[in-house]
């Protein structure tokens, strides 16, 4: 993208940059030195607030504002680095830390100092085996050089940092599920309040931040809040990492200012370089699965915190785009999506546990070729009855389920109806029961309230 110099990925491809020596030679850790030796914690909080930095983990909450919720009279504070990265289609945290682990560690030190944390945990996604070793090596080196531990840079400030490996649950990316898991318990999200800022990990005031959010801090300290705020679109400041997967020429992780359009991301020569194998775009899940879906006519959507709302999406999410080609069967996209949330619901809340399960079974039935038109209405109705937004759940997982599932049905209804209409005769209840036993267990669907246009399914 013309005129834009990478900020977060500026060290990608630099030989040996995973080592402290090369990182420092490229300007690494200079911002942490500046922060600890020339700024007070409150000055850093104010600088970050003025930069407009909003969390990159999905919710987009302003980082400086979040930090200011910590009680003023606190004694011990914990910083939890959310490296669970389990949102489908998202791998920007992994890409960043694999290439530049010291940038992530430097961001952690700045955030910990700003929030007066004396303990930092990097909660790392279970499947990131190699990355664990990359991060641990970088952390060991940083400790040996005095960037962690007691009396950092002779300032009297002490910070201990540990990497904690998760066990592979999507819900442990939710900040209170993460905290429970960190404490050695089942990763069940907590009822709030109290919020983590008041009572978080081990009962201490806690800040949870995403890896990419923290990686923005060195640049803010070094170049100033105004410079950071000048990048992006109003209300969506700074650089952003975008990931792209699916049938494109160059799947991968790319950096650009916030506000890149989905079309630029897919077609741009600096980005995914267009569709592969002569395919056309049928749909794009632009921000991790939970934000919802765009049609091929909606590719001018800007990936920032506001324009996505004009397209009915839940939010920007992680900006992890999954591109779906014109050869895809949207029934399968629907079933895959629904199955994921049913599998990952932790089961504490009835509407989430049962709702995601029902939707998965209905969607599987549609994908198996035995759907009914009424199933589509039923799915949309179920989506409206679950989630934190409707006051029915402890955490946001069911909102994240309802958006993509409802939008797939609403935006691709024509195709789904047509596919249901094309089902060959002979798809009997017995046929479905034999092949997908779980689908058959759908008493709610057997109630016989189907509209007249629905195909009769012979017994």
Ligand X SMILES: Cc1cc2nc3c(=O)[nH]c(=O)nc-3n(C[C@H](O)[C@H](O)[C@H](O)COP(=O)(O)O)c2cc1C
What are the residues binding ligand SF4 (CB under 6 A)? 171, 189, 345-349, 352-353, 393-395, 397-398
59, two tokens: 């919710």
331, two tokens: 């029934």
Partner interacting with residue 84 (select from ligand SF4, ligand X, none; CB below 5-8 Å by kind): ligand X
Partner interacting with residue 55 (select from ligand SF4, ligand X, none; CB below 5-8 Å by kind): ligand X
CB nearer ligand X, residue 122 or residue 266: 122
Helix (H) or strand (E) holding 105: helix 101-115
Partner interacting with residue 86 (select from ligand X, ligand SF4, none; CB below 5-8 Å by kind): ligand X
Cα gap 180→172, rounded to integer Å? 8
Partner interacting with residue 457 (select from ligand X, ligand SF4, none; CB below 5-8 Å by kind): none
Task: Kindly state the smallest distance separating residue 382's Cβ from ligand SF4, in Å.
Answer: 14
CB nearer ligand SF4, residue 100 or residue 399: 399
CB nearer ligand SF4, residue 259 or residue 355: 355
Task: Kindly state the smallest distance separating residue 310's Cβ from ligand X, in Å.
Answer: 22
Partner interacting with residue 115 (select from ligand SF4, ligand X, none; CB below 5-8 Å by kind): none
* DSSP characters over 218-272: HHHHHH-HHHHHTSEETTEESEEEEEEESSBSS-EEEEEETTEEHHHHHH-TTTT
Length of the chain: 459
Cα gap 261→374, rounded to integer Å? 35
Task: Kindly state the smallest distance separating residue 353's Cβ from ligand SF4, in Å.
Answer: 5
- DSSP for residue 15: T
Coil, strand or helix at 433:
helix
Using the structure block, give the residue that is written with the tokens 């799915």: 379
CB nearer ligand SF4, residue 117 or residue 401: 401
Cα gap 210→387, rounded to integer Å? 23
CB nearer ligand X, residue 47 or residue 174: 174
Nearest residue to ligand SF4, scored by beta-carbon proximity: 352
Instruction: Sort 167 into a burial class: Cβ within 10 Å, 0-12 / 13-18 / 19+.
Output: exposed
Partner interacting with residue 345 (select from ligand SF4, ligand X, none; CB below 5-8 Å by kind): ligand SF4
Task: Kindly state the smallest distance separating residue 286's Cβ from ligand X, in Å.
Answer: 17
CB nearer ligand SF4, residue 166 or residue 371: 166
Partner interacting with residue 208 (select from ligand SF4, ligand X, none; CB below 5-8 Å by kind): ligand X
Cα gap 283→322, rounded to integer Å? 9
Task: Kindly state the smallest distance separating residue 57's Cβ from ligand X, in Å.
Answer: 3
Cα gap 433→429, rounded to integer Å? 6
Residue 389 main-chain phi, psi, to 5 deg = -65, -35
439, two tokens: 């689908």
CB nearer ligand X, residue 275 or residue 322: 322
Binding site for ligand X (CB under 6 A): 55-59, 61, 82, 84-87, 170-171, 173-175, 208-210, 213, 395-397, 400
């Amino acid at each position: 993208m013309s005129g834009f110099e990478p900020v977060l990925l500026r060290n990608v491809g630099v030989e040996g940059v995973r080592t402290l020596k090369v990182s420092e030679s490229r300007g690494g850790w200079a911002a942490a030195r500046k922060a600890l030796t020339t700024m007070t914690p409150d000055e850093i909080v104010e600088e970050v607030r003025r930069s407009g930095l909003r969390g990159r983990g999905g919710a987009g909450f302003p980082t400086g504002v979040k930090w200011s919720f910590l009680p003023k009279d606190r004694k011990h504070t914990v910083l939890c680095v959310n490296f669970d990265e389990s949102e489908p289609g998202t791998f920007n945290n992994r890409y960043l830390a694999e290439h530049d682990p010291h940038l992530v560690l430097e961001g952690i030190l700045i955030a910990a100092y700003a929030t007066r944390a004396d303990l930092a945990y990097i909660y790392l996604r279970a499947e990131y085996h190699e990355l664990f070793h990359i991060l641990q090596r970088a952390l060991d080196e940083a400790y040996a050089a005095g960037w962690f531990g007691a009396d950092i840079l002779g300032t009297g400030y002490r910070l201990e940092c540990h990497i904690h490996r998760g066990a592979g649950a999507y819900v442990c990316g939710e900040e209170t599920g993460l905290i429970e898991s960190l404490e050695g318990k089942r990763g069940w999200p907590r009822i709030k309040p109290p919020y983590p800022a008041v009572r978080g990990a081990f009962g201490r005031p806690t800040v949870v931040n995403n890896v990419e959010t923290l990686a923005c801090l060195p640049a803010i300290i070094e170049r100033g809040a105004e410079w950071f705020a000048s990048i992006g679109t109003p209300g969506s400041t700074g650089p952003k990492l975008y990931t792209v997967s699916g049938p494109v020429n160059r799947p991968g992780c790319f950096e650009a200012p916030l506000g890149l359009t989905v079309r630029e991301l897919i077609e741009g020569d600096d980005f995914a370089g267009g569709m592969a194998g002569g395919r056309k775009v049928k749909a794009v899940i632009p921000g991790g699965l939970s934000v919802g879906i765009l049609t091929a006519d909606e590719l001018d959507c800007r990936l920032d915190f506001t324009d996505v709302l004009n397209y009915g999406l839940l939010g920007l999410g992680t900006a992890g785009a999954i591109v779906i080609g014109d050869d895809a069967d949207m029934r399968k996209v629907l079933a895959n999506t629904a199955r994921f949330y049913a599998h990952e619901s932790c089961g504490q809340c009835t509407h989430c546990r049962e709702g995601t399960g029902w939707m998965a079974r209905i969607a599987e039935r549609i994908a198996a070729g035995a759907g009914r038109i009424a199933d589509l209405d039923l799915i949309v109705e179920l989506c409206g009855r679950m989630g934190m937004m409707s006051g029915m759940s402890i955490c946001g997982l069911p909102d994240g389920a309802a958006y993509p599932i409802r939008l797939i049905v609403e935006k691709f209804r024509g195709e789904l109806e047509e596919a249901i209409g094309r089902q060959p005769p002979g798809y009997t209840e017995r046929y479905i029961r034999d092949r997908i036993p779980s689908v058959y267990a759908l008493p709610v669907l057997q109630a016989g309230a189907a509209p007249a246009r629905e195909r009769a399914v012979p017994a």
